[in-house]
Structure 1
Amino acid sequence: MDSKNVDTSVKDRRLVQKRREQMIKAGVKLFTDKGFHRTTTREIAREAGFSIGTLYEYIRSKEDVLYLVCDDIYTRVKQGLEKQIDFSGDPWSALRQAIQNYIYVIDELQDEVLVMYQETKSLSKEALPYVLNKEREMAVIFENILKRCVDLGVLHIDQEWRAFHAQQILVQCQMWTFRRWAVQTQFTLEQFATKQVHSLLQSIKPA
């Protein structure tokens, strides 16, 4: 399942994309303010700027909006994560850049990321595996960079440690969102990114 397979009666793909972007924005705001279960499709339609009838031309249920939110987050995170990284160059520099990029993308998508982790449990048995697999794909990006570091002799860690460090990177960078009530009062984004990159690289390859 992917976002293209969410049922719609509209044939114009550009219009579908536009309307769904409006629904995603509205869904994130309402799910953040009220939670998924307390939000109605009528409220989503109103916030998005169109009627409930129009809403149901593009989705089947409120869950579809949550699914679209999750799918959009992972697409944007992956694009931001890989932005301006030279994967053919120095693997250690690529790892450093990927971690920094991830922190900045997390900053841009703070509310969306919170909604995703808080409300993913509300997805159907059909949609949930797809979303969880997207999470694994992000970890694989870091695992592949770490593997290249190993292949080129920059690191000497096995596959199990590569998997561990990939997960560690994801969790530590997400701290900027999940503990923002504390972290963001103590550090600027630039300070947090600098310290987090240094800390993670030190844990992967101690000096």
Structure 2
Amino acid sequence: MSASTPAAPLLPDQPDARTRLARAAVEAFADRGFHGTTTRDISTAAGMSPAALYVHHRSKEELLYELSRLGHERVLEMVRESVARSEDPVEQLGTLVEDFVRDHAVVHTGARVINYELAALSEEHLAEIVAIRHDIDLVVRGVVDRGVAAGVFHTPDAHMTALAVLSLGIDVSRWFRDEGRWTPDEVAVHYRLLALRMVGADGGRIEP
């Protein structure tokens, strides 16, 4: 099993106004949902005046879009790096899933916002995010395709399997809690084994 990639923060640890607004927006959207959050909620939580948000963003929707774009581009880069660390499809898939799941556990609040508030985006902005998600899907599907071609994976539909793997990982952000029973590393290792079992690969045995 390869060394894990530590999850990078969704947002930089900086005190500037733009970052403070972004952090406040993530917490507010996660707590109240996009439509239940006002620009005043975000600005107040950031310790700024109600008009401050409009200095940096044209609208609440644009702020959500920028958070979504930043988060999805970050995940795309991460999965590409995960796959690049090996040429073995089994190791590639296992490492990718571990990194993806660990990341969605560590930054679960932000990941939950950028994955479950997409319906609030404008048609144009949603199309951009969907395109990045498609690229992420292509990375996973490529690994599964290579495993099938090499005879180490056994799945009748690589596309559906790739979507299922990603869906499982994304859902971690919905239920994971910092004070919960399992650590991000424990969840990541377990999901690695689940993914390998899904593709029928050796190394997917889960010990009791």
Instruction: Return the TM-score normalized by structure 1.
Output: 0.77
Corresponding residue of 2:169? 173
Shift in Å, 1:199: 1.7
> Which amino acid is the alignment partner of residue 31 of structure 2?
D
Quote the Cα distance in structure 1 between the aligned partners of 2:47 and 2:27. Answer: 13
- 1:102-155 alpha-carbon deviations (Å, 9 max, x no partner): 011111221112222332111111111112222222111101112222344433
Output one character per residue of 1:3-56: Cα deviation in whole Å (capped at 9) or x when no partner.
xxxxxxxxxxxxxxx654333212101112222223222332333344444432
Match for residue 106 of structure 1 among 101, 104, 107 = 104
1:32 maps to amino acid: A
- Alignment-derived partner of residue 10 in structure 2: none
1:165–1:204: 8 Å Cα contact kept in structure 2? yes
Q: C-alpha separation between the residues in 2 aligned to 1:131 and 1:90?
A: 29
Number of residue pairs matched by the alignment? 187
Q: CA deviation at 1:206?
A: 5.0
Code of the aligned partner of 2:74: R
Q: 1:175 to 1:52 in 2, by over 3 A?
A: closer
Secondary structure (helix, strand or coil) at the match of 1:42 reads helix
Question: Structure 2 CA distance, aligned partners of 1:83 and 1:117?
Answer: 21
Relative to structure 1, the CA distance from residue 19 to residue 150 in structure 2 (aligned partners, 3 Å threshold; closer, same or farther) is farther
Write the distance in 2 (CA, Å) between the matches of 1:136 and 1:84: 17
CA distance in 2, matches of 1:77, 1:88: 18
Q: Deviations over 1:75-128 (max 9, x none)?
A: 222233233543562222111111111011111221112222332111111111
**Which structure has the highest helix share of the two?**
1
Q: C-alpha distance in 2, partners of 1:204/1:140?
A: 16
Give the counterpart letter for 2:56 in structure 1: Y
CA shift, 1:179, in A, is: 2.9
State the shift of 1:66 in Å. 0.8
Specify whether residues 142 and 37 from structure 1 end up closer, same or farther in structure 2 by C-alpha distance, changes over 3 A only.
same
Question: Of residues 192, 202, 205 in structure 1, which corresponds to 2:200?
Answer: 205
- Counterpart for residue 9 of structure 1: none
Change (3 A) 1:205 1:24: same
1:71 match: 69
Q: Which runs of 5+ in 1 are unaligned?
A: 1-17
> Which residue, out of 59, 62, 69, partners 2:57?
59
Tell me how far 1:204 sits from its aligned partner.
0.4
Partner of 2:3: none
